[in-house]
Amino acid sequence: MRTAVGIIGGGPAGLLLARLLHRTGIDCVVLEARTREDVEQRQRAGMLEQGTVDALREAGAAERLDAEGLVHQGIELRFERERHHIDFPALTGGRTVTIYAQTEIVKDLVALQLAEGPPLLWEAQALAVEKPESASPVVRFLHEGREQTLICDWVIGCDGFHGISRGTFPAAGSHTYERDHPYSWLGILADVAPSCDELIYARGQSGFALHSMRSIHVSRLYLQVPGGTDADDWPDDRIWDELDARFAVDADWTLHRGPITAKSVTPMRSYVHEPMRHGRLVLAGDAAHIVPPTGAKGLNLAVSDVRVLARTFAELHRTGSERLLDDYSRTCLARVWQATRFSYDMTRMLHAQPDGDVFENRLQLARLRRIASSRHAAAELATNYTGLPLLT
């Protein structure tokens, strides 16, 4: 097989990139290791910055998002049994966010790609990227029981944190920056109407909790748990009891319970790989960076990488100039590090420190009190949460 742009990975980054390139008239192929069912059912993110909504509209993939997405005007911070609303439009000159599950974005993009192209190969596992420094890099992949090759002009690694693309980069000149946080998130889906109109980020005495949602009928909640936690050790009642304790406030508010339909544990890590390009191999999304989901940045960062990348290929296609491509890594990393900073700060501010560091505990409260009492500090949180401008 031969194509202009070989895309490894059919998650949100790979699918959105394929859609944007296809609409620009650029030939590409997506190789996805898993099945369609796997990819469409994988419970992940849910909060979209306006830039992500704009990108999906630009891709002609936002019809259901516009009909079903829940636009939110802010979030609530909870600590010391107090409630503090962060009013996004008032603090950011009108910006809002939208709740629409990553699973639905993937379903929308898959349906469009299967209907209109480009080719999307399921259960096509990339084994290696060869000759990335050459003008014709090759992806060796396993599909339908045999090893095949995809000869490309460019290869884009959209294969997530556990993919193979990043490992193709030469050690010399590559740098990784990482921090594993000493706790994880236990995430649940529950068939019960959300107990709130907007997301609640709670710093409880025994740990962090987040109340999100997927619709007006389905709640999505997260609970800080020790690293290495097995979801099976958390029966439904234990989860609801702990969530109740962490969301407790001196106000008339009830956490509504319901049947839990999905449970999973996600480790908390911060990770950045530099650079994001080597020769004709380029990384986008989780293949290049991971943030703890406290700042709701993972999916949004993947989309902003893709928006930059699609523009660079559009210029290359139109003018033959690689000027923007030469700048891709620097452009994306500027935004990646800002999102990494924000996600790290939100995580450290809201999670109980397992080592019971009382000094850190007091610092957390001081940070939260500053946000609750200072318009300036609240505006800084709101500006970062709703998304910094693209191409910072």
Q: Which residues partner with 138 through β-bridges? A: 130, 151
CB of 359 vs ligand PHB, minimal distance in Å: 26
Q: How many residues bind ligand PHB (CB under 6 A)?
A: 10
Q: What are the phi and psi torsion angles at 275 (to 5°)?
A: -80, 180
Q: For ligand FAS, which is the closer residue by CB, 118 or 298?
A: 298
Q: Are 104 and 68 in contact (CB under 8 A)?
A: yes
Residues that bind ligand FAS (CB under 6 A): 8-14, 31-34, 39, 44-45, 102, 125-126, 158-160, 163-164, 266, 285-286, 293, 296-299, 302
Tell me if residue 100 is catalytic: no
SS3 at position 263? strand
Rounded Cα distance, 227 and 179, in Å: 13
Rounded Cα distance, 306 and 314, in Å: 12
Q: Are 276 and 284 in contact (CB under 8 A)?
A: yes
Q: Are 110 and 40 in contact (CB under 8 A)?
A: yes
Q: Which of 103, 270, 294, 364 binds ligand PHB (CB under 6 A)?
A: 294
Q: Are 240 and 255 in contact (CB under 8 A)?
A: yes
Tell me if residue 293 is catalytic: yes
Q: Are 86 and 199 in contact (CB under 8 A)?
A: no
Q: What are the phi and psi torsion angles at 20 (to 5°)?
A: -70, -40
Q: Which of 166, 181, 211, 220 binds ligand PHB (CB under 6 A)?
A: 220
With CB under 5 to 8 Å by kind, the binding choice for 137 among ligand FAS, ligand PHB, none is none
Tell me if residue 217 is catalytic: no
CB atoms under 10 Å from CB of 192, counted, come to 19
Write down the catalytic residue from 72, 273, 278, 289: 72
Parallel/antiparallel/unpaired status of strands 219-226 and 120-121:
unpaired
With CB under 5 to 8 Å by kind, the binding choice for 194 among ligand FAS, ligand PHB, none is none
Stretch that binds ligand PHB, among 61-69, 252-260, 289-297, 355-363 (CB under 6 A): 289-297
Stretch that binds ligand PHB, among 40-48, 83-91, 157-165, 227-235 (CB under 6 A): 40-48
Tell me if residue 328 is catalytic: no
Rounded Cα distance, 370 and 96, in Å: 22
With CB under 5 to 8 Å by kind, the binding choice for 13 among ligand PHB, ligand FAS, none is ligand FAS
Q: Which of 212, 219, 304, 312 binds ligand PHB (CB under 6 A)?
A: 212
Tell me if residue 351 is catalytic: no
With CB under 5 to 8 Å by kind, the binding choice for 220 among ligand FAS, ligand PHB, none is ligand PHB
Rounded Cα distance, 338 and 392, in Å: 9
> Active-site positions?
72, 201, 293, 297, 385
Residues that bind ligand PHB (CB under 6 A): 45-47, 199, 210, 212, 220, 293-294, 296
